[in-house]
Structure 1
Amino acid sequence: MDLFSRSWTALRTAVAELPDEAFAQPSGCTGWLVRDLVCHLIVDSQDVLITLATPSDAEPTRDELTYWDVSATPPTGEDPLDALTVRLAAAYEEPWLLKFHLDDVGAAAGRAAALADPAARVSTRDEVLATGDFLSTYVMEWTLHHLDLIAHLPDVPGPPAEGLARSREMLERLAGTAFPASLSDTDALLIGTGRRDPSDAERAELGVLAGKLPLVLG
C-alpha cells in the first residue's frame, strides 16, 4: 500500500512540474504524446476509484500477476481505446487543464487507496482480486508509465527506486526467470516490456530469455 502511494505521488508530482511545452513531446507509448499519456493517467485514476468502490464477497479469480493479460505484440497506437485517449487529450486544449484534472482525481485515488483494507476483495474487468493485489498491479502501471513520461524528457525525475525494483521483480515472475544482473531495473523493464530493443550485447546476456520477450502487459 505504501509503495502504491510513493509510486503514484512521484508520477503525479512529475506531471505537475512539467512545463507546457513538454505536453507536445512524444511519450514512451507508441502513438501517444505526453498529453495523451497524462489523459490516460486520469482514466487510470478513475479505474482505481471505481474498483475500490466495487467490493466483492466472491473468491479471488486473479492476483497481482495473473491480473495481467500478457501478449508478445506491442501496441501500435491504432486500438480504438488508444485513439479515443488521443481525442480526449486534445479536447483539454490547455496543459493546465490536464494537470488540474489529474491532481483532482489522482489525489482522490491516492486517498482511497490509503484508506482501503488490503485484505478486502474488489471486482474489476469481471474479475475479483484482493485489494492489496489490485494496488500492487498499479505499482507496475505507475512505474512503467513514469518511464513512458520521461522517455524523451531526460531532465524530469524518474520513478522511485523501490518501485522500479518491485516492478522488475513482478516482471521476472511473469517471465519465469530473472533478468541478467548487469541490466539496471530501468533497462530490464524497458526491454522486458518491449519499450526498447536490446542491444546485441544485451541480447547475448539475455540468452534464451530474449526469445520470450517482449512481455506486453494488458
Structure 2
Amino acid sequence: MDLFSLSWSALRTAVDGLADRDFERPSGCAGWLVRDLVCHLVIDAQDVLITLATPAGTRPTRDAVTYWEVVEPPTGTDPLDALTVRLAAAYQDPALLRFHLDDVGSAAGRAAALADPDAWVGTRGQVLTVRDYLGAYVLEWTLHHLDLAAGVPEAAGPPAEALARSREMLKRIAAIPFPPALSDTDALLIGTGRRPPTAEERARLGDLAGRLPFPVG
C-alpha cells in the first residue's frame, strides 16, 4: 500500500510539472497524446474511488498479480480509448485537465490511505482485498508514468521501488523471467510491447523474444 501512494504521488507530481505544450506531445500509449493519457488517469482515479466504496460480501477471487491478464496489444481504436480522446479534447485548456487530476487524484490517494487493507472490495466482476487492489495499481501507475516519460523525456520517471515491483509483477503475470541484464524500465517497456527490443536486447532475451509482448489489462 505504501508503493501505491509512492507511485501515484510521483505520477501526479510529474503531470503537475508539465508545460501546456507538453499535453500535445505523443505519449507511450498507442494513439494517445499526453493529454489523452492524463485524462485516462482521471478515469483511473475515479475507478479507485468507486472500488474503495464498493464493499464485497464474498471472499477474494483475485490478488494483486492475478487482477491483471495478458490482453491483445492496444491499437488505439478501442471504443473506450476513443471516448477518452474525445473527453480529453473537451478540456481545451490543459490547466483544467491538470486541476481535475489533482482534485480527483488527491481524493483517491486520501481514500487509499484511509481504507482498511484487509477489507474486501469488488471491481471488474472480481473481489480483492484493498491491499491487493491497491497493490495491483502500482503496475498501472508505473506503466503510465513510463508512457508519460516517453512523450516528455525531461519529466522525472517512476520511483525505483515501483519499477522493481512492477517488473516482478509482470514476470509473474507472464510467467517468464526477464534477463538480469535488462533494467527494470527496459524490461517493462519491452515486456509490455511499448517498444521493440534492440538487436542486442533480442540476443539477451533468446527464445523469450519470440513470445513478446505481454500487454496487460
Q: Provide the TM-score with structure 2 as the length reference.
A: 0.98
**Kept in 1: contact 2:70–2:174 (CA 8 A):** no
**Kept in 1: contact 2:63–2:132 (CA 8 A):** yes
1:118-154 alpha-carbon deviations (Å, 9 max, x no partner): 1111000111011111101110000000000010211
1:55-110 alpha-carbon deviations (Å, 9 max, x no partner): 11201111111111212x31110000000000000000000000100000000000
Instruction: Note the 1:68-217 alignment, pairs <5 A.
Output: 68-71=68-71, 73-217=72-216
Q: Provide the TM-score with structure 1 as the length reference.
A: 0.97
The answer to whether 1:65 aligns with 2:65 is yes
**Kept in 2: contact 1:27–1:37 (CA 8 A):** yes
1:146-175 alpha-carbon deviations (Å, 9 max, x no partner): 000010211110000000000001111122
Which piece of structure 1 moves more, 172-181 or 107-116?
172-181
Residues of 2 paired with 1:168 and 1:159: CA distance?
12
What letter matches 1:84 in structure 2?
L
Task: Quote how far apart the aligned CAs of 1:208 are.
Answer: 2.1
**Kept in 1: contact 2:34–2:148 (CA 8 A):** yes
Task: State the aligned residue count.
Answer: 217
Residues of 2 paired with 1:204 and 1:122: CA distance?
43
Report sequence identity in percent. Answer: 71
Residues of 2 paired with 1:66 and 1:30: CA distance?
24
**Kept in 1: contact 2:68–2:173 (CA 8 A):** no
Cα RMSD after superposing both structures: 0.8
SS of alignment partner, residue 158 of structure 2: coil
Runs of 5+ consecutive residues of structure 1 not aligned to the other structure = none
Residues of 2 paired with 1:187 and 1:137: CA distance?
20
Residues of 2 paired with 1:150 and 1:194: CA distance?
16
Residues of 2 paired with 1:165 and 1:75: CA distance?
24
1:10-58 alpha-carbon deviations (Å, 9 max, x no partner): 0000001100000000000000000000000000000000000001120
Runs of 5+ consecutive residues of structure 2 not aligned to the other structure = none
**Kept in 1: contact 2:69–2:173 (CA 8 A):** no
- Extract structure 1 runs of 4+ deviating beyond 3 A: none
